Amino acid sequence: MAKPKTKFCCQECGFETPKWLGKCPGCQAWNSMVEEVETVVKTQGFQSPHLRTQEKPTSIIHIESAREPRVLTDNQELNRVLGGGIVPGSLILVGGDPGIGKSTLLLQTSFALTEKNLKVLYISGEESSRQIKLRADRLEVTSEQLFVLCETNVELILEAVEQEQPDFIVIDSIQTVYHPAIASAPGSVSQVRECTSHFMRIAKTKGIATVLVGHVTKEGAIAGPRLLEHMVDCVLYFEGERHHSYRLLRAVKNRFGSTNEIGIFEMLESGLVEVNNPSELFLSERPIGVSGSTVVASMEGTRPVLVELQALVSPTNFPTPRRMSTGVDHNRLSLIIAVLEKRMGMFLQNQDAFLNVAGGVKLDEPAVDLAIAVSIASSFRDKPTEPYDVVFGEIGLTGEVRGVSRVDQRVKEAQKLGFKRVILPEKSLKGWTQPKGIEIVGVNTVTEALAQALR
């Protein structure tokens, strides 16, 4: 018998090498190489009937275009993140920290689908049937159409799918499932790749919506190779702090909708409850009359969200001041500080600057630049901003304030929450009807914005 060949595969990026290496040359990760037995599949070349396909190339003009039907759940936040509901035959990957609420969300979603006369198969490789039953009783999500299977062998799982013919499948989690033909351990690159390909084939051929739960690394990314994210149709991240009751569901990849949408939930004893007004939630504990606090109107997909930005500028005795930010790109903070030093004459070279987005939200659009500059200047001069002002706009390197998109939605959201004035770019005043009952102030430079906000 031939000696089985072994290889070392990186569990982070999938890089393969015949020898063990302490550091992966592909992703520069340390101690990520795991030994796997290489399986050789014999083929008969291109004339093999298994490699031939009956489908022929078709002109794109003759392909019928039809909108994908969607199944709406009772959770409007989940529907928004998915792009309008669950698409039959889609493969969805959900990742998040341990204990963040992934299983709770999927169990509640499964029950909501059974209420629409759909058959759901919940497959768990980490919990027993009694543990799932205890959670279901606590959440009050029991139904005759909800079937539970505790199995990790992918062949037995596929047999159960053929027997039950469900409309919706949940795999919790993909790192615990294994294929007996693969010699490596469950959770390895080979096992994850092979098992995901089987579930993808079932989802596409039978039109069954399938959800895969993925573990995450300590950096917050989904564990395993990035190939897993390329194979699925939608990648969702379930974020939030363990010590806070609020959770954020964010779409990173979505072939059937936008990737800029977020869903906000609150974790209660009875399960996850959707938050319909996130702006009011993020501003509920906002202090009044304190320097360094500014409210910004940010767009998360199609939804305007009002969030509080907090800045703290304090003197330092070290030659290199600290620049720390939470929820905003660190490089963006350094750029705005440089603009304030050069264009506004603020001497911040001996000042530590700290910036925080209240509520744990991550803001990545350039429209928050002006609010960051106002917060830093307010803390540096120790002058509080007006408590009923909303600020947004993009800042250029020459100190100008550039226009942003969807201004009318931001202003309407500020008016709905009782704000009295909005400071925005002068270039964004055209093309929309200004509502009554709220003051609109247009600015062209950062100097004008600070003069208006720090009066």
Q: Quick: pLDDT tens for 168-183.
A: 999 998 989 999 988 7
Question: Is residue 52 scored above 60 in pLDDT?
Answer: no
pLDDT at 302: 79
Question: Is residue 409 scored above 80 in pLDDT?
Answer: yes
Ranking 50-64, 197-211, 350-364 by mean pLDDT, the lowest is 50-64
pLDDT at 41: 47
Mean pLDDT of 220-241: 79
Pairing of strands 246-254, 401-402: unpaired
Sheet holding 271-274, edge to edge: 146-150, 120-124, 168-172, 209-214, 91-96, 234-239, 246-254, 262-268, 271-274
Question: Is residue 46 scored above 90 in pLDDT?
Answer: no
Asked if 282 contacts 384 with a C-beta cutoff of 8 angstroms, the reply is no
Does the pTM exceed 0.85?
no
Binding residues: 96-103
Asked if 146 contacts 164 with a C-beta cutoff of 8 angstroms, the reply is no
Binding residues for ATP: 96-103
Q: What is the mean pLDDT of the chain?
A: 87
Give 394 or 28, the one with higher predicted confidence: 394
Tell me the pLDDT tens digit for each residue of 245-278.
788 898 889 998 888 788 889 888 888 998 888 8
Which residues fall within 8 angstroms of residue 197, CB to CB, at 6 or more apart?
A: 231
Nearest to 307 by CA among 299, 318, 322, 296: 296
Can you tell me the distance from the alpha carbon of 193 to that of 11, in angstroms, rounded to the nearest whole number?
11
Which residues fall within 8 angstroms of residue 15, CB to CB, at 6 or more apart?
A: 9, 24, 25, 26, 27
Can you tell me the distance from the alpha carbon of 360 to that of 243, in angstroms, rounded to the nearest whole number?
12
Other C-beta atoms lying within 10 Å of the C-beta of residue 432: 13
Question: Is residue 444 scored above 80 in pLDDT?
Answer: yes
Asked if 352 contacts 314 with a C-beta cutoff of 8 angstroms, the reply is yes
